[in-house]
Amino acid sequence: MSYYALYRSTADVVGHHDDRASAARQAVRIALAAPDLSLDVGIVEIDDEGGGPVGSFVAASDLLAAEDAAAMEVIAASKAGEDFPDVPELTVDLEARVAAGGGNPESTAARMAEAKEAVAGLEAVLNQLRVALVAGPESNRPSS
């Protein structure tokens, strides 16, 4: 028996492996690089004689959810910076960047002011809706 790492939707094979662990590592690496593909990329065991699937398709997301040993290896390596060194940080502390002299403080302040103004406008609309709700349908019923 051997294993494919592949995309389920198109049956595109991305790797043919002698063992499950290396197929799982490949699928999980792809899922980490493109999380939106984590349900589509996965592994399947194949019959080396006929090429057909022996077991069920296992998505990379399932490998991660099950804390599969090979998947956890990839996660550990990724956290250690061994893989995907070019992946940027997913979150940016904007205030820290501005405080550190990065970015453009003036434009950031202007955008924050615009955002606060928009929030204030939404709160005003929300208050109007609350008033209407408290008054009930009677207040909106046309007089006859």
Partner 1 sequence: MSDQDTVIDDLPPGTVVAIPADGRPLFRKLIGRDPAKNDFKGDQARGRPFVPEDEAWIEHTGLSLYDDAMLAARIGVKYPAYVAEVRLPEGAGCSFAKTAGPGHHTIWGRPDDLFDGVVALYRLEAPSLALERVA
Among positions 52, 81, 88, 142, the unique one binding partner 1 when judged by CB under 8 A: 52
Question: What backbone phi and psi angles, to 5 degrees, belong to 3?
Answer: -135, 140
* DSSP category for residue 37: G
Residue 5, judged by CB atoms within 10 A of its CB (0-12, 13-18, 19+), counts as buried
Q: Using CB under 8 A as the criterion, what x/- string covers residues 53-72 for binding partner 1?
A: x--xx---------------
- Tell whether residue 51 is a contact of partner 1 (CB under 8 A): yes
Q: Considering CB under 8 A, how many residues would be counted as binding partner 1?
A: 32
We find the least distance from the C-beta atom of residue 47 to partner 1, in angstroms, to be: 8
Please identify, among the stretches 7-15, 105-113, 124-132, 134-142, the one whose residues bind partner 1 according to the rule CB under 8 A.
7-15
Collapsing DSSP to helix, strand or coil, 3 comes out as strand
Per DSSP bridges, beta strands 58-59 and 2-7 are unpaired
- Per the CB < 8 A criterion, the answer to whether 46 and 55 are in contact is no
- Tell whether residue 48 is a contact of partner 1 (CB under 8 A): yes
Using the structure block, give the residue that is written with the tokens 């302040």: 109
We find the least distance from the C-beta atom of residue 45 to partner 1, in angstroms, to be: 11
Please identify, among the stretches 4-12, 95-103, 108-116, 129-137, the one whose residues bind partner 1 according to the rule CB under 8 A.
4-12
Per DSSP bridges, beta strands 2-7 and 41-46 are antiparallel
Q: Which residues bind partner 1 (CB under 8 A)?
A: 2, 4-16, 25-26, 29-30, 33-34, 37, 44, 46-53, 56-57
